Amino acid sequence: MTPEMSEKTVLRSRLLAARAALSTESLARTAESLARRGLELAELAEASTVAAYVSVGREPGTRALLDALHARGVRVLLPVLLPDNDLDWAAYEGPEGLAKAGRGLLEPVGPRLGPEAVCAADAVLLPGLAVDGRGMRLGRGGGSYDRVLARLTRAGADPALVVLLYADEVVTRVPEEPHDHPVHAVVTPGGVTRFRP
């Protein structure tokens, strides 16, 4: 294990413990605030296609934002976890079009569009545990979104990369490895922070 991986493991543990301590009321308030702030974000307001994800457990809530984007006529793509941890994509057709999948995830039941479908997105909402002042994102460590980001780079796609977080998850420094990519913006209940490309 490299020193960066060890630092990431320690930081992930701390952040997950803080999420576990959040109250149900706090989770609900945060989800409402993130939806409101997300809809005000120019990168999402002007997008015709957004690749996103369905929050589960203690993740900052995305459901209200997904529904609002869908209601606006935005094509929302949601991930489908493949056996090798890569991601396929399918269109979001509303909450009734979601089904329980492995690892506690909710996935769309519609036709699979292929891993390359994400390259058509104008904006990509990335799950994360933290973002630092340089825009470096700390994920859960499964590598699924590292593959997505690498795929976007290979395809020459340049969507806005946005992370939804709790306020205390914008940190001083996230340990980074060569494969890590910075994001363009982070949305918290307190507002939006943008990072220079």
Q: What is the pLDDT of residues 63-110, one digit of tens each?
A: 999 999 999 999 999 999 999 999 999 999 999 999 999 888 999 999
Tell me: pLDDT of 57 over 60. Answer: yes
The answer to pTM > 0.85 is yes
Determine the Cα–Cα distance for residues 101 and 78; give it in Å rounded to an integer. 13
Q: What band does 178 get if pLDDT is binned at 50, 70 and 90?
A: confident
Tell me: pLDDT of 179 over 70. Answer: yes
Q: What is the pLDDT of residues 105-144, one digit of tens each?
A: 999 999 999 999 999 999 999 999 999 999 999 998 888 9
Determine the 3-state secondary structure of 141 from DSSP: coil
Tell me: pLDDT of 3 over 70. Answer: no
Q: What is the largest CA-CA distance in the chain?
A: 45
| CA-wise closest residue to 13 among 144, 177, 130, 188 | 130
Domains along the sequence of the chain with CATH: 3-194 (3.40.50.10420)
Q: What band does 2 get if pLDDT is binned at 50, 70 and 90?
A: low
Tell me: pLDDT of 153 over 80. Answer: yes
Q: What band does 197 get if pLDDT is binned at 50, 70 and 90?
A: low
